[in-house]
Amino acid sequence: MSTNVRLATIQDAESLSSLNQEFNGGDKRSVSEIMKSLNSNNELVAVATIMDEVVGFACAQSMKSFCYNEAHGEITEMYVQESARRNGVATSLISFLEKQLLTRGVKTVKILTGRDNNPAIQTYELSGYIKDDEVMLKKKL
């Protein structure tokens, strides 16, 4: 079973809507909203396909600050359908996004996940990521 990873196109909007609902729950994002986001956003959205079916996605952002010499990247979202897990799909998505971020001048990438999400943590560590002591704080406005 061969995995293919590429940047998402507007033709992937329906699949992305369905996968995002599996991932985040709640109301399904409209296909038109996803198409608009794919066309106008600086976000990198990658999809993984097996036999031409989209089975996973991952998103990344790059940012530049006057505080640092180099751009920083973050893989912000990742989801792989249950039936496609443990086949290298997630590590393929990570590798693809890292290469895309590198072309944007990014030398350091971070990934945030739940501290109890052991399968995800193992996947990230398999891809060379290491835990650090940062603490994330958030606030709803």
DSSP annotation of 15 reads H
The strands making up 3-7's β-sheet, listed across from edge to edge, are 3-7, 44-50, 53-63, 71-80, 106-111
Q: Can you list the domains of the chain with their CATH numbers? A: 3-126 (3.40.630.30)
Six token digits for residue 70 = 């180099």
The residue type found at 81 is Q
Mean pLDDT calculated for residue range 66-85: 92
Residues 6+ apart with CB under 8 A from 124: 94, 111, 113
Q: Are 106 and 75 in contact (CB under 8 A)?
A: no
Mean pLDDT calculated for residue range 22-31: 90
pLDDT at 1: 67
Q: For all residues of the chain together, what is the average pLDDT?
A: 92
User: pLDDT digit string (tens) for 77-89?
Assistant: 999 999 999 999 9
